[in-house]
Structure 1
């Protein structure tokens, strides 16, 4: 059985995946490494450098595993296909080829958030976490669960968080996915408030009654979907689009 490597998104460290732990099938190896700068892991000298990121994550992202990238983690995992040997399969959770979209999070909204982060990182992160939970069936309960998992302290230095927003603003992995030598599977919460409707519609699998954080609202369903990919990766190569 292929192992799963779980990669978290912006403003959240690997503890975000803990709700899935009781739902993994017996014998499945699951790892959740933190990105550089998160949870006390050393930061990159240049947090925007994908080359440096690949060097730092090479041992955490083996080619014989399935990489699961959530949100920003999916963008970064897709970009690293140009820098590291391809995995058995790549799962993009809650993300498309790029983050900004006029029907999802617009360029203007993200630029406003970048400015807010520079004014007050703690307040900006809290606002972002609340917004991404808006699509869950119980946003208040999901927010409570997230706070219990992650606490309130910033999970990474400002430079790492700011670089992550730069990646969300500008990173486009369309070419990386089109040229990928591994299967790519796209999973989205059916009510994800950060994704445009057309991105949700293009997902290979949609998780009903879930938004951007199905690991909080639908952990059993998400674990089952991911385990099925690890057991028999059958994702489709993405079609080339203009």
Structure 2
């Protein structure tokens, strides 16, 4: 049985993947959790062939993965860099992330609620417990993360499912020409809002990829 290794994005937890996983019963699922709302979970990487699947910032983090058994990376609403620079005008100004970090100390639930609304949730249901420090650490990492230099190492093994109407501009074009790109309208939360479509595309990618 093929294994899928999932990593969610900022402001969510491993339960983010539940709707998509329900459409993929033929795979073994391993889910990491960044610990924004409880204990972090960092399972060992599989020692047999597997696929990495990341959403948003989770996909960006997975670009740094070094795992000899990883057959490929499927990025959903992902990006290689989040903040704007001289050659990436679609990025978010870094000052916005630093403002969010400061506000997390005073109004953490408001920050998370506004972020989720921006991602497309109309009435976010927030977890009872928020780990302020983990959330701030995640934002700080996102502000400085630039994994564009790592894209060549994934040549032929990188797939990007992205949405042209994604409200987060860094994710709108996915991973660009470095990846085998698939466009699916639907916003930034495709695994939540379009789980069946994502499952069909994910299954097709894995099926059509020649064995290593």
When normalised by structure 2's length, the TM-score is 0.82
Whether the aligned pair in 2 keeps the contact of 1:3 and 1:230 (CA below 8 Å) is no
Q: Deviations over 1:19-64 (max 9, x none)?
A: 124422x5222332323x3453358xxxxxxxxxxxx55x145561
Which of residues 79, 82, 103 in structure 1 aligns to 2:90?
Answer: 103
Q: Is the alpha carbon distance of 1:173 and 1:196 closer, same or farther for their aligned partners in structure 2, counting shifts above 3 Å?
A: closer
Quote the residue 2:23 is aligned against: 23
Q: Is the alpha carbon distance of 1:171 and 1:62 closer, same or farther for their aligned partners in structure 2, counting shifts above 3 Å?
A: farther
SS at match of 1:159: helix
Q: Does 1:230 align with 2:197?
A: no
Q: Does 1:131 align with 2:118?
A: yes
In structure 2, distance between residues paired with 1:164 and 1:30: 24
CA RMSD of aligned residues (A): 2.6
Quote the residue 2:31 is aligned against: 32
Higher RCO by CA contacts (8 Å cutoff, separation 6 or greater): 1
Quote the residue 2:165 is aligned against: 191
When normalised by structure 1's length, the TM-score is 0.73
Q: Unpaired runs of 5+ in structure 2?
A: none
How far apart are 1:165 and its partner, in Å?
A: 0.5
In structure 2, distance between residues paired with 1:181 and 1:63: 21
**Higher share of residues assigned helix:** 1
Which of residues 169, 176, 179 in structure 1 aligns to 2:143?
Answer: 169
Quote the residue 2:195 is aligned against: 219
Q: How does 1:82-93 map to 2 (within 5 A)?
A: 84-85=67-68, 87-93=70-76
Whether the aligned pair in 2 keeps the contact of 1:75 and 1:95 (CA below 8 Å) is yes
Q: Is the alpha carbon distance of 1:154 and 1:104 closer, same or farther for their aligned partners in structure 2, counting shifts above 3 Å?
A: farther
The number of residue pairs the alignment matches comes to 203
Q: Unpaired runs of 5+ in structure 1?
A: 44-55, 134-138, 235-242
